[in-house]
Amino acid sequence: LIAAKSSDFIKEIMESFVERASDIRKGMVDPRIDNMLKITHEARLLGLDPRLLYEDAPNEADSKVNQCIEIIYDEYIQSSAIKGTQIVFCDVGTPNSDGRFSIYPYIKEELIKKGIPENEVCFIHDATNEAKREAMFSDLRSGHRRIILGSTPKMGTGTNIQDRLVALHHLDCPWRPSDLE
């Protein structure tokens, strides 16, 4: 378990969540405008990476995501002799086409900057049919691909790629305990 300390930016936003929650409890806000579920969802995004909520949020070197990137890279280097594979589970910040910040391409770009070949990092979301999924899994089992990012719903069950597995990384916690199991 790796804990990332909250930046000043995150602390400031969390304080605004506390104020919003207080206003909701006091009945000062129309629940169609703001509610506890919305705050909980935004806090989940903020806890992973504030750029998921605010485009201009700072990219903190010690953030949860950046710490994970360092660990992925270290595991990659340490397991090079056996072409070890790694799975990164992340249920929010998944790839999108609307230009919003996404965790997946950010992690891939940072790993490529560190020297990991682009073709060794893949997203489960790119396997758009069963044949592509099985080909991707075959590449992971053989060590041709070494890092896969995916959400729990897309990769949590039926993912048979443990042959060279050296690490699992859970960037966020699924809603249901059975999904983590």
pLDDT tens digits, one per residue of 58-103: 999 999 999 999 999 999 999 999 999 999 999 998 888 898 999 9
Where is 167: in which H helix or E strand?
strand 165-170
pLDDT tens digits, one per residue of 154-166: 887 778 898 999 9
Terminal CA-CA length for the chain:
16
What's the angle, vertex CA 55, arms to CA 54 and CA 59, rounded to 5? 90
pLDDT for 180 beyond 70:
no
56-66 in b/e form (b: 16+ CB < 10 A) is ebeebeebbbb
pLDDT for position 68 = 97
Q: Tell whether the torsion through CA atoms of 66, 90, 126 and 87 is positive or negative.
A: positive
Q: Is residue 134 within 8 Å of residue 108, measured between CB atoms? A: no
C-alpha–C-alpha distance, residues 78 and 80, integer Å: 6
Q: Is residue 127 within 8 Å of residue 155, measured between CB atoms? A: no
Q: Is residue 57 within 8 Å of residue 140, measured between CB atoms? A: no
pLDDT tens digits, one per residue of 100-155: 999 999 999 999 999 999 999 999 999 999 999 999 999 999 999 999 999 988 88
pTM here is 0.91
pLDDT for position 181 = 66
pLDDT tens digits, one per residue of 47-61: 999 999 999 999 999
Residue 54: count of CB within 10 angstroms of its CB? 14
